Amino acid sequence: MDYKKILDEIYLEAKVYKGQGELARYIPELALVDPLKYGIHLSTVAGEDYSLGDSKERFSIQSISKVLSLAQVLPLLGETLWERIDVEPSGNPFNSIVQLEYENGIPRNPFLNAGALVMADILISRFDDPMESFLSFVRELSGNSTIEYDKKVAASEIATGYLNASLINMMKSYGNILNDVDKVLEFYCHQCSIAMSCEDLAHAFMAFADEGCLYKSDSRVLKKSQVKRINALMQTCGFYDEAGEFSYRVGLPGKSGVGGGIVAVHPKCYSIAVWSPKLNPKGNSVLGMKTLELLTTKTGTSIF
């Protein structure tokens, strides 16, 4: 497969969508990002790397971090995790509160804000220094020891995250949050703030593309059966109320974030990260989705 030629083609073709969409203004710091940034990085399981545009520039990974926290939590708790979080698509926005009351404080899936808050609560219960443990895990997955939290983005979200505060208080009232709600919110906002490049993300997500093995290494961080479950959740829940659309247009397990990043994997083949900050009304990068649609169409490499 000539990924270089195909990605060059896509980069030119998709650029016309650069103007479409809006920045994630509800987190004030994210509204300051250059809306015209566009980067792509594809890594293959064979160890090849293809980079285009702003692929080495770091941006706030936001909800993409939820896949990484699931990868840390699932081996710790195993199947008991699903006593506190379900594995069903919600059909609702990532920050919706409506189902949470009907369903007694059990989030529909780990990628909703409510689900990720429960995973943050679990990591706080497990580790003396959860911020340090999570960051070390992300650095290990990506093979980059310089990855950091973006303190400005985290502070900006902590100051304005009223909806997340309501989600966590609702869950606390149902007994599904064990720690102090402010402590969990602080950790969650830091986890979302982490700054990574497309290259870092493509390398980190190789664990999901390559059956739990780290990029260019024999060490395994996840069992095959855990990777199967995480990829299934990305496929069905990674794009919230647009999970069907992403599956239909792209046909890969993937995860988006309101920082404009999208990562997708083709199991046993490649992982790819795209960054373009302008979002559609469902909170997913317009250009990111278009890029991935063109990739699987031109290469014939969707999982379907």
Chain residues in the site for ligand DON (CB under 6 A): 62-63, 94-95, 113, 157, 164, 192, 256-258, 283-284
What is the C-alpha to C-alpha distance for residues 95 and 114, in angstroms, rounded to an integer? 7
> Residue 92 or residue 301: which is nearer to ligand DON going by CB?
92
Q: Is 16 exposed, middle or buried (0-12, 13-18, 19+ CB in 10 A)?
A: exposed
Contacts made by residues 293-298, CB under 8 angstroms, sequence distance 24+: 293/249, 293/250, 294/10, 294/13, 294/14, 295/6, 295/7, 295/10, 295/42, 295/250, 296/250, 296/251, 296/252, 298/6, 298/9, 298/10
Smaller CB separation from ligand DON, 7 or 67: 67
At residue 252, φ and ψ (nearest 5 deg) are -140, 155
Nearer to ligand DON by Cβ, of 45 and 116: the residue is 116
d(CA 254, CA 273): 9
Query: Which residue's CB is nearer to ligand DON, number 58 or number 299?
Result: 58
CB of 281 to ligand DON, least distance (A): 11
User: Closest separation between CB of residue 48 and ligand DON, Å?
Assistant: 29
Residue nearest to ligand DON (CB): 63
**Residue with Cβ nearer ligand DON (188 or 208):** 188
* Residue (83 or 148) nearer to ligand DON, CB: 148
Q: How far is the CB of 218 from ligand DON (least distance, A)?
A: 33
Q: What is the DSSP letter of 47?
A: S
Question: Which segments of 31-167 are extended strands (E)?
Answer: 39-44, 49-53, 59-60
Cα distance between residue 200 and residue 97, in whole Å: 32
In sequence order, what E strands does 149-203 have? 195-196
* Residue with Cβ nearer ligand DON (29 or 210): 29
| Nearest distance from C-beta of residue 77 to ligand DON, angstroms | 22
Smallest gap from Cβ 286 to ligand DON, in A, equals 12
Q: Nearest approach, Cβ of 294 to ligand DON (angstroms)?
A: 20
Q: Which of 243, 252, 232 is nearest to 70 (CA)?
A: 232
In whole angstroms, give the CA distance from residue 124 to residue 69: 12
Residue labelled with tokens 């247009």: 249
CB of 62 to ligand DON, least distance (A): 3
Q: At closest approach, how far in Å is the CB of 242 from ligand DON? A: 9
Which residues are CB-contacts of 209 (< 8 A; sequence separation ≥ 6)? 45, 265, 266, 267, 268, 269, 270, 271
Residues pairing with 39 in the sheet: 53, 275
- CB nearer to ligand DON: pick between 4 and 25: 25
